[in-house]
Structure 1
Amino acid sequence: MTTHHETYTAAPFAPALMLNALAPSRGWNPKDGFPDFSFIWRGYQISAAALATLQRAAGRDDAATLDRLMLLAPHVTGFRLTMALLMCRDWPLPIWRALQLRNRLIRSGAIKLDTPSDLIVRATGWRVHDRGIELDVLAQLMQGEDCPWQSITTFYYRGRFDGPARHGADDGAPIASPSVDPSLPPLTQWTVAGGERLRWAALTGDYNPLHLVDIYARATGFAAASAHPQRIAVQCLGHLTAPAAAPTQLDLWLKGPVYFGRTASLREVANEDGTTFGLWIDGDDRPAMVGRMS
């Protein structure tokens, strides 16, 4: 199995990553699977300015919303390190074949702002299906000796691949999402704003033109450009009426694009075990995003 360990002392440089993505991929070898890579961003920190951007997107700055956003903040601002991993020249499959499916975000302690930290990402497990591969990427935030936050992001590569049916841990969000009754009255509705696209690309490190350029999105078969999933998750958390207790886990299922200019409808079901929510875009029968916060 190929090993590769790379350390960044500043944010991975997006143009260099995009050049890597244009290089030919070495291809899938079922004997090797995904390589044993670990990427480390030393000095990573969540700035107060970045958190303020999330609060503006959420539309609320109360304490309960801030607690929810702190569960998402490392995922938003540290996502470019995952992009660096998936765009590495030695990665077997190209980034343009990867589709983000699910997220599991876990907070186990206090997350400090404006504190130089280590962010570490690596592939931990994958499953070979009839029509593709699911890959789990683990991200961990280290602040001194503590790991107050980690995430497991599941990606999907379409195609037919040989190899063992599964490898490594399967600790991410489950394949099946919880259901939210679409007949429930919406908790709230809003128009998905198309401004600040480059700001969110810079925050996440995801400069996919599907999130930036309407003409490109339509040329590739989509109705329009769509918002970054992290941006939509922030907006959902800002509208929830869940209890004020700080959540320790958030699972997200990304089911479809959230197009700019469309009307979004958020529905919520809360009980003693947590809050489940679904986001629908006008004209679509199925939700574009489902989440469970506990």
Structure 2
Amino acid sequence: MDSASSPTPATPATTTTTLSGSPALAPLLARGALLSPLKRPRPGAAFPRTRLVLPGLRVDLARLAAYERACGFATGADALPVTYPHVLGFPAVMRLMSDRRFPLPLLGLVHTSIDITRRTVLPTTAAYELTAYVEGLAPHRRGTEAAVVTRLRSGTDLVWESRSTYLARHRTSGHTHTAPSEGSAAPPEEPAGPLPARAEWRLAGDVGRRYGAASGDRNPIHLHPLTARLFGFPRPIAHGMWTVARCLAAHGTPDATVVRAWFLAPVPLPGTVTYGAEGGRFELRGAGDRPHLSGEVGPYPA
């Protein structure tokens, strides 16, 4: 007599929500902060299967210019910096991660990596369709990591996409390892010796405030010493996306390019960092050659 097998739980259906405009960030950040103490992160937790779609997205040229100045990109070019679509998608991503159903607490969430693919030049005056969704959760040796995908289309063509990972730290069994990103090389466990130094940058204490104003990412750990101390940092720290944008502004990228970056340690503000580069690799190091950022850039298709 055949025994009946237990049914496999069905994967929740994916839904699509079309936005009429870019979400306001302040209410989302406040909601995420209020809900954070209620979250119980774990790799097997359910997460929202919603794809947010924002059609007819156009770039605010004044905000773009402020971003370019804050990150060291040349201003006035008729093409978006390779990292700028991340800023365009940030409000939609915050809507996903501040949702009550998103299992990781927004407060204390650490951006650990980003993969970017730009398939062509992105004109500043074009209209785009933006899509953002949570791809999944994975165990990490220090907690649980979420992968979030952002895509930009021009007409029917996919022209830019990114995959970011965000870590919520919590107790683990001690036997889990970081799951490798799909389509991405894993970061080196121990970064190799320093790349050839190309520049030394003295970072002012207001770098986080200037980038926050230009990008909309006003996380308190980046803004002032007092607000940073509330979250365990003796000084404010630079945004991870500012560090990779600043490096790419110095390094340069092909029109069609693939960028991968791993955020290894916070960059305290004010402070001094060394920008190193060789071939398609780049990095930031601090005092004692401490690695803060490791990355690589190459042509698309790779």
* TM-score interval, smaller chain: 0.7 to 0.9
Secondary structure of the residue that 2:187 maps to in structure 1? coil
Query: What's the TM-score, normalizing by structure 2?
Result: 0.80
1:250 to 234, 253, 259: 259
Please give the per-residue CA displacement for 1:60-117, whole angstroms capped at 9, x wherever unaligned.
5299x987x6321101332222122111122122111421100000011232323332
Aligned to 1:34: 47
1:49 to 47, 62, 70: 62
CA shift for structure 1 position 156: 1.3
- Mapped pair 1:19 → 2:49: no
Aligned to 1:71: 82
d(CA) in 2 for partners of 1:135, 1:226: 22
118-127 or 170-179, larger mean C-alpha shift: 170-179
C-alpha RMSD of the superposition: 3.1
Aligned pairs (5 A) from 1:207-218 = 207-218=218-229
Identify unmatched segments of 5+ residues in structure 1: none
Aligned to 1:292: 296
Rate the CA distance shift 1:115–1:217 in 2: closer, same or farther, 3 A.
same
CA contact (8 A) 1:250 1:292 kept: yes
2:185 to 164, 171, 174: 174
Query: What's the TM-score, normalizing by structure 1?
Result: 0.82
**Letter aligned with residue 83 of structure 1:** M
- Mapped pair 1:277 → 2:288: no
Secondary structure of the residue that 1:277 maps to in structure 2? strand
CA shift for structure 1 position 188: 0.4
CA contact (8 A) 1:122 1:138 kept: yes
Which structure: larger Rg?
A: 2
Aligned to 2:235: 224
Rate the CA distance shift 1:159–1:85 in 2: closer, same or farther, 3 A.
same
Rate the CA distance shift 1:198–1:5 in 2: closer, same or farther, 3 A.
farther
d(CA) in 2 for partners of 1:46, 1:30: 36
CA contact (8 A) 1:54 1:234 kept: no
d(CA) in 2 for partners of 1:33, 1:289: 31
CA contact (8 A) 1:101 1:255 kept: yes
CA contact (8 A) 1:253 1:291 kept: yes
**Letter aligned with residue 290 of structure 2:** R
Rate the CA distance shift 1:54–1:208 in 2: closer, same or farther, 3 A.
closer
**Letter aligned with residue 232 of structure 1:** T
**Letter aligned with residue 253 of structure 1:** W
Please give the per-residue CA displacement for 1:252-276, whole angstroms capped at 9, x wherever unaligned.
1001111222011011111xxxx10
d(CA) in 2 for partners of 1:37, 1:114: 28
1:84 to 75, 80, 95: 95
1:143 to 154, 166, 178: 154
d(CA) in 2 for partners of 1:122, 1:170: 16
How many residues align structurally?
Answer: 281
CA shift for structure 1 position 136: 1.1
d(CA) in 1 for partners of 2:71, 2:30: 33
Secondary structure of the residue that 1:51 maps to in structure 2? helix
Aligned to 2:211: 200
Aligned to 2:5: none
Query: What is the percent sequence identity of the aligned residues?
Result: 28
CA contact (8 A) 1:136 1:154 kept: yes
Secondary structure of the residue that 1:216 maps to in structure 2? helix
- Mapped pair 1:61 → 2:66: no
CA shift for structure 1 position 4: 5.8
Secondary structure of the residue that 2:296 maps to in structure 1? strand
Secondary structure of the residue that 2:186 maps to in structure 1? coil
d(CA) in 1 for partners of 2:204, 2:27: 29
